[in-house]
Structure 1
Amino acid sequence: MLFTSPLVQGILIKRYKRFLADVRLETGEIITAHCPNTGTMLSCSAPDSQVCLSRSDNPKRKYPFTLEMVKDNSTWVGVNTAQTNKLVAESLAKGRIAEFQDIKMIRTEVRTSDHTRLDLQVMHGEDSTFIEVKNCSLAVDRWAMFPDAVTVRGTKHLHELIRLSQEGRKTCIFFLVQRMDADRFRPASHIDATYARALQQAAAAGVMVLAYQAEVNPQEIRVVRSLPCSLLATPRTFSGSDCPAD
């Protein structure tokens, strides 16, 4: 995904009220930007971090700037979760996801029950797969981890994938790691043990578990490779969709 207009750089002063961030631009001006991320942004929201913002020309927007990425040490981290589904759909369409080839159609925001929508439904070859996408911005000791806060909604999505899988439908949970300083993935069980257990249950029920990494920079965000993942409490690594439940 190429940014159609150059991003504006600045320094993060603080993030607050979840969806707002004060930023000092290179001109010295202090602005308030929209922060489209429901997580804690643990490890990528420290004051004085370098950030990149997009700017909307829509005169009706209260906050024209949107926080797109934050630099954690020397690594750009994509934090705009509104872009995550688009990035994955684009990568699917371009054949960058090895597990999904011969793409015929991609549907978005697919209702699977009265109270649940999943992010994508992909028609590929002779198959159809429901995919729930999660943005992963947390990394510790080269482990990319999700979630960065307790997520009741995320656990609900896993249970929906399990239900569909048990009905014989093909399903997938897809973690998009938007930072390049990790080389493996596992659930953040120390943050949300319930989600970690549900992810194990999903894998055991036949839900495909994938983690892919995106290279993030101020010009482009591009999915570049799959990551091995582990669902075990004690980290051990497994490749691609072969992420087992313990």
Structure 2
Amino acid sequence: MQYSAVVPAHFLSRPNRFIARVELEGQILNVHVKNTGRCAELLRPGCTVYLQPGDNPARKTPYDLIAVDKDGLLVNMDSAAPNQAVAEWLAAGGIGPLDELRAEYKLGASRFDFFARRGEEKILMEVKGCTLEENGFARFPDAPTLRGLKHVEELAALAGQGWRCYVMILLQMEGMKQFSPNWATHPDFGHALRRAVEAGVTLLTYDCRVTPSSLTVNAPVPADLTPPESLM
């Protein structure tokens, strides 16, 4: 996926989860943060961030904060970007040729990121964007995610009913050594992901090629779902 008219700025502070204060060409601005997660390890005073002009010129925040330079590692922070990048990847044959592909598919009381069909095979996919990393090891989630937990459990149940189900963890950065659940933050999600894989859900963990103005699904990254001994 592509952004347009992206400009660099310096991050100053984050008054709340929706707003960041930045310095752009000597001017102090409030900008919209396209990620409501904590992201404290990313948004540090003085770091370089990347901004895209907002769609509405009358908006109080003229720019969206979409990416950050974390000590030389470029991380895309846009929470809407993973689904757009994965949609392009699926359409290009990421999991093979598809006869049908739909986003935001409603099934019962739930809504899943993607529905696809290959012949008689029905496919569901839920995508989770990951921005948390430490020394090349990526983890998800950075905060408890009841919605994510619910979707993983539902996909595990649907896999037992004949659906082909995927959970795709998209690392919004490049060059990660490994992915694992964030056992310290939300162990229930990690356990649910393990159970889902055992029930037949396919786990895909991919990193991305990231530039200030683009995000593209890149290559598989090994995943380790083994919990620490204290949680086994």
TM range (shorter): over 0.9
Counterpart of 2:14 in 1: which secondary structure?
strand
Q: Which amino acid aligns with 1:23?
A: V
2:96 to 93, 101, 110: 101
Residue 122 of structure 2 is matched in structure 1 by 128
Is it true that 1:2 corresponds to 2:7 in the alignment?
no
On the 8 A contact 2:34/2:77 being kept in 1, the answer is yes
State the shift of 1:36 in Å: 1.9
Q: Which amino acid aligns with 1:64?
A: P
In structure 2, runs of 5+ residues without a counterpart are none
1:34 to 9, 32, 35: 32
Q: Which amino acid aligns with 1:56?
A: G
Q: Which amino acid aligns with 1:123?
A: R
Greater displacement, 13-22 / 148-157: 13-22
Residue 243 of structure 1 is matched in structure 2 by none
Counterpart of 2:11 in 1: which secondary structure?
strand
Aligned-pair identity (%): 33
Residue 231 of structure 1 is matched in structure 2 by 225
State the shift of 1:113 in Å: 1.9
Q: Deviations over 1:99-144 (max 9, x none)?
A: x111222211111222x21111122355221111000001113211
Residue 65 of structure 1 is matched in structure 2 by 63
In 1, the alpha carbon distance for the partners of 2:174 and 2:8 equals 20
List structure 1 segments (4+ residues) > 3 angstroms apart after TM superposition.
none
What is the TM-score normalised by the length of structure 2? Answer: 0.93
State the shift of 1:221 in Å: 1.5
In 2, the alpha carbon distance for the partners of 1:233 and 1:141 equals 19
What is the TM-score normalised by the length of structure 1? Answer: 0.88
Residue 149 of structure 1 is matched in structure 2 by 143
Residue 215 of structure 1 is matched in structure 2 by 209
Residue 48 of structure 2 is matched in structure 1 by 50
Q: What's the C-alpha RMSD, in Å, of the aligned pairs?
A: 1.7
In 1, the alpha carbon distance for the partners of 2:118 and 2:43 equals 38
Residue 75 of structure 2 is matched in structure 1 by 77
State the shift of 1:181 in Å: 4.1
Residue 23 of structure 2 is matched in structure 1 by 24
Greater displacement, 150-159 / 72-81: 150-159
In 2, the alpha carbon distance for the partners of 1:124 and 1:68 equals 34
1:183-194 to 2 correspondence within 5 Å?
183-194=177-188
Greater displacement, 68-77 / 164-173: 164-173
In 1, the alpha carbon distance for the partners of 2:58 and 2:101 equals 31
Residue 170 of structure 1 is matched in structure 2 by 164
In 2, the alpha carbon distance for the partners of 1:41 and 1:224 equals 23
On the 8 A contact 1:42/1:148 being kept in 2, the answer is no
Is it true that 1:180 corresponds to 2:174 in the alignment?
yes
Residue 107 of structure 2 is matched in structure 1 by 112
Q: Which amino acid aligns with 2:207?
A: Q
On the 8 A contact 1:42/1:138 being kept in 2, the answer is no
In 2, the alpha carbon distance for the partners of 1:68 and 1:159 equals 30
On the 8 A contact 1:175/1:212 being kept in 2, the answer is yes
State the shift of 1:42 in Å: 4.2
In 2, the alpha carbon distance for the partners of 1:59 and 1:219 equals 20
In 2, the alpha carbon distance for the partners of 1:124 and 1:226 equals 22
State the shift of 1:28 in Å: 0.8
Q: Which amino acid aligns with 2:99?
A: K
State the shift of 1:63 in Å: 1.8
In 1, the alpha carbon distance for the partners of 2:23 and 2:115 equals 40
State the shift of 1:43 in Å: 2.1
In 2, the alpha carbon distance for the partners of 1:188 and 1:19 equals 23
State the shift of 1:168 in Å: 1.5
